[in-house]
Amino acid sequence: MGRVIIFLLLSVAGSGAGAANLIASHTRLHELDPGQEAILVKALHEVSASRVNEALSDLRGLLAANPGFRLAQMVYADLLLSRAGPISEFGAVPFASHRQVEAFRDEARVRLRHYSAPPPADQIPSALVMLSAEQKYAVVVNMTTSRLFLYENRGGEPYLAHDFYATIGKNGTGKFSQGDQKTPVGVYFVTGVIEPDRLPDFYGSGAFPIDYPNAWDQRHGRTGYGIWLHGTPSNTFSRPPRDSDGCVILSNADLENIKKYITPGETPVILADGIQWVSRAEWRKQREAMAGIVEQWRRDWESRDTDRYLGHYSPAYAGLGMDYEAWVAYKRKVNNGKRYIRVALSGQSMFLYPGERSLLVVTFRQDYASDRNQRRFTKRQYWKQEADGRWRILYEGSVS
């Protein structure tokens, strides 16, 4: 059985003794989690502690409940084979191809790494600058670690509610064109829900489309469509870390778990190649600073000082069908002669755009009134910190 321990842990999680200790430590953090992944990790911890019979028992129960959990099948088969003689590697079973075994190894690796390196306690992804009151939850996907994090909005502050193993595109991240089998990087929003009775079994227990390509993608010529958060076929518990055509995939059980937390039109989905974690104190300072920038823009608009107002717009601005020169000419024309301008903002949310340097996505409901007209709509802006250190608007437009 010693070789089983060596090959299961060394080939998957890293160094043998270190892997065993890390798995044991983080298993305690998840001991209240009844999920299938926790049972698998518990079984691997038992293997590392030479409690192979206990591991087999746990895996039998796991596979009875989820016969489609192929990684668990592989581990279980390895343990059974080891009883007949030494095995040379993880995934020594004869029924799997080399490609399948590599996919199982990748899945085991990312699942175990999550247990060995959990998110920093009480730290927040810097991308979650501000959640509106309507955004009860936010989704952040670290595509490098194949992990989806669900954050709950508690009085305006995000707190980690749960996390799940996730699959992304076959060719990784940075989607640029239709059919490239990559998952986009950026700030997106759930646009709707598709119930399973309207979908082929391939998509599992439902789907949540997101708004790819967004305005930033379109500005950069990115193409494609149909990027969803969805489930797995009914005979498959989970898929390898990189196995989709660009979508983010959860097990059906995990998708069912988060369905009640997702609100179409409100829930943000941050797709990132990595997460920058910040303390709550740092996060509060960042939120205050970003809110102050937007508030100054609002005040300068109300002041009717057109130069001050236009100072918030980048020369690279493009939005509402106009480039910067056309926008400047338009605003100088319409602002002349107005006796007052009143602008009220509500429902604000702000997210730093992953994969970009100092790019902020701001969304709010805007109530505009002047002596000439009134209008209320939802606006989205993209702010960029430019070379002189000032944040300026690169794009703004209505949210349909």
| pLDDT tens sequence across 305-355 | 999 999 999 999 999 889 999 999 999 998 888 899 999 999 999 999 999
Residue 39 has pLDDT above 50, yes or no: yes
Nearest C-alpha neighbor of 308 from the set 325, 296, 322:
296
Helix or strand run (H / E) with residue 179: none
Angle at 273 between CA 270 and CA 275, to 5 degrees: 70
Domains of the chain: 2-116 (no CATH), 123-278 (2.40.440.10), 280-398 (3.10.450.50)
In whole angstroms, give the CA distance from residue 152 to residue 13: 30
Look at the block and give the residue holding tokens 């090959």: 7
> What's the pTM value of the predicted model, to 2 decimals?
0.90
| CB under 8 A, 24+ apart: contacts of 307-316 | 309/335, 311/392, 312/392, 312/393, 313/392, 313/393, 314/384, 314/386, 314/392, 314/393, 314/394, 316/384, 316/394
Q: How many CA atoms lie within 13 A of 173 on its CB side?
A: 18
Select the highest-mean-pLDDT range: 14-18, 51-55, 292-296, 332-336: 292-296
**101 or 364, which is more confident:** 364
Q: What does pLDDT average to over the chain?
A: 89
**191 or 73, which is more confident:** 191
Residue 180 has pLDDT above 80, yes or no: yes
In whole angstroms, give the CA distance from residue 161 to residue 284: 19
